[in-house]
Homo-oligomer: A and B are copies of this chain.
Amino acid sequence: MTEPLRPYLGQIIAELEARGVREAVVAPGSRSTPLAILLHESAGIRVRMALDERTAAFFALGMAKASQRPVVVVSTSGTAAANFHPAVAEAYLSRIPLIVLTADRPRELRDVGAAQTINQVNLFGTHVKWFQDLPTPGSADLRPHAAQVASRAVHVAMSHPRGPVHLNVPLREPLLPEPGPASHPLMGGFVHSRWCVDDASLKQVRAWMGSAERPLLALGPESPWVDPAVLERFRASGWPIMVDPLAANGRQDRGLTRYDIFLRAVSDAPRPDVVVRLGAPFTSKVWNQWTGSSRLVLIDWPLGFRDPNHQSALVFEGDPAESLSALSRQLPMAPPDWRQALEQLEERAADQAQRVVSASPASFEGRLYAQLNQLWSDKPVLVASSMAVRDLDSFYDHGPLTFYANRGANGIDGLISTALGISAESGDVLALLGDLAFYHDMNGLHLAQQHQLNALVVILNNSGGGIFSFLPQADLPKETFEELFGTPHRIDFSGAATLYGADFRRVHSESEVFGAFQELRPRTGLRILEWITTPRPETTAVHRQLYAWEDRSWPRN
């Protein structure tokens, strides 16, 4: 007896669409055939194929990141599904709503040596918010169940804090869905009350803050968009504001941005006594140390706890934008000299940065970030998790750009695919990657050719792992260091352009970089710009100059 696939799986797809899914990324495979076909038939869901599952999942991650909508990603059974693991872990930690559908062999073929069969039950462990091992189609009418499980999957993925869910779909042959009528959504959906801030909660928060002589508002990576009027109220109360470039507000507002420089340069910079933080911990390690003994108010969605410094924290749960807005109306006033002190440090750091960058070698990477507003206005920018995001933090000041990064787990994997997912949603994207990150996800470049996406990918090539030169490992004997950490290579990246029919330029100095941007920015499709940057030890030396202030105490007038 053949078991009908269409009513059951069609119901799942209809329900995903009804709950807001518009995009699916599908890796080719046999066991997943009916999922691919029924998604392809669906009028409201666009299917994009991806030939490498690791790439497919990061592509979906990028799409969901840019659209803030749930994106489906489909694989066949076996190691194909295991290739999703890195992107799923990243999605979990950076709160991106992915709906992972893995086709599986039916239960009777598990753990008996069947082909392309691994254990897909809880394949991603605790890196998904919800896992269900679905029934195989049989004589029962599974449509009500299908409606429920698919609706619930989207709902769980989209409930804050957002994240991936995994439905494992065991299927028997034959795998071609039989003809039949289209499915219509059955489930009513989910309605839920909103979080309101009450006076009692606010009172507790205010009590915890105490007198707050040196309070600070901090918008970390992934913090939600905050209304500028709310920020204005903090300013009016004398609160300095620091914004990580990866916050939703980014550096479009004039907050303090040079903290990574002045906190390294000045040993006795005054410390905040109270920090109100939205979003994840800051990119800047020294910032996290500087605020480590402050009383912390952590504003986040329920169960969104993120405090790796083990600070004395009060966790204020609810809708973060609402919470912050309510709090902004009841702020303690800070004495004016607190913000002035930080502003003086900021000014000196800005001067220092300008001086050091001007005097740096023409191939110093920091030059790019300092000029980024001129090079790439008003379009999204993805920065790699290793050096690129740190250089952004140090050298980019203010501007209209929107920055993305994979800072959930800070991997150097999947970044090109993520960038192209952003491009699929938002159009032309700039990706700034080191050579190791570029190498790691070269397969992602195919997505641009396959789906006619626009991207300018900049390889900041210092032949190896630049970040290690900033770590204690740099003190190892040179040979050991280069072998295990520097990992220089002889990869000729022009080959990547040949593989995928991309424009390619290799440049050496800032002026060549700027020329290449002028030429490549107006074009469409995939453009790859390789910049042979300052050798790693020299880069470290420039950074050291940034922090080498003659007077290493903060100015007290």
Contacts and interface: CB of A to CB of B under 8 A. Distances in A.
Contacts of A440: 51-52, 443
A113 interface: yes
A358 interface: no
Interface stretch (A122-130, A255-263, A359-367): A122-130
The size class of the interface chain A forms with chain B is 35 or more
Interface stretch (A196-204, A231-239, A466-474): A466-474
A384 interface: no
A489 interface: yes
A413 B86 CA distance: 15
A162 interface: no
Interface string A424-460: 0000000000001001101100100110000000000
Contacts of A122: 125
Contacts of A176: 472-473, 475-476
B471 A30 contact: yes
Nearest to A308: B114
A487 B446 contact: no
A491 interface: yes
Nearest to A502: B495
Nearest to A33: B473
A370 B186 CA distance: 56
A138 to B, nearest CB: 18
- Copies per complex of this chain: 2
A494 B484 contact: no
Interface stretch (A77-85, A396-404, A507-515, A547-555): A77-85
B449 A112 contact: no
A281 interface: yes
A243 interface: no
B174 A115 contact: no
Contacts of A116: 409-411
A492 B501 contact: yes
Contacts of A450: 489
B413 A485 contact: no
A442 B445 CA distance: 12
B51 A54 contact: no
Contact of A40 (B26, B483, B492): B483
Contact of A307 (B112, B414, B500): B112
A492 B499 contact: yes
Nearest to A50: B487
Nearest to A298: B113
Contact of A28 (B90, B449, B465): B465
A78 B411 contact: yes
Name, among A118, A446, A501, the residue most crowded by chain B CB atoms within 10 Å (CB to CB): A118
A21 B125 CA distance: 30
Interface in A49-72: 49, 51-54
A267 interface: no
Given A79-B89, A494-B498, A496-B495, A37 B476 contact: yes
Given A108-B310, A112-B306, A496-B499, 10 more contacts: A33-B473, A51-B487, A54-B54, A82-B127, A115-B407, A116-B410, A116-B411, A440-B443, A495-B498, A495-B499
19 contacts: A28-B485, A33-B473, A47-B484, A49-B484, A51-B436, A51-B489, A53-B413, A78-B410, A79-B85, A79-B411, A79-B413, A83-B85, A112-B305, A113-B280, A113-B307, A176-B472, A439-B443, A443-B443, A446-B489
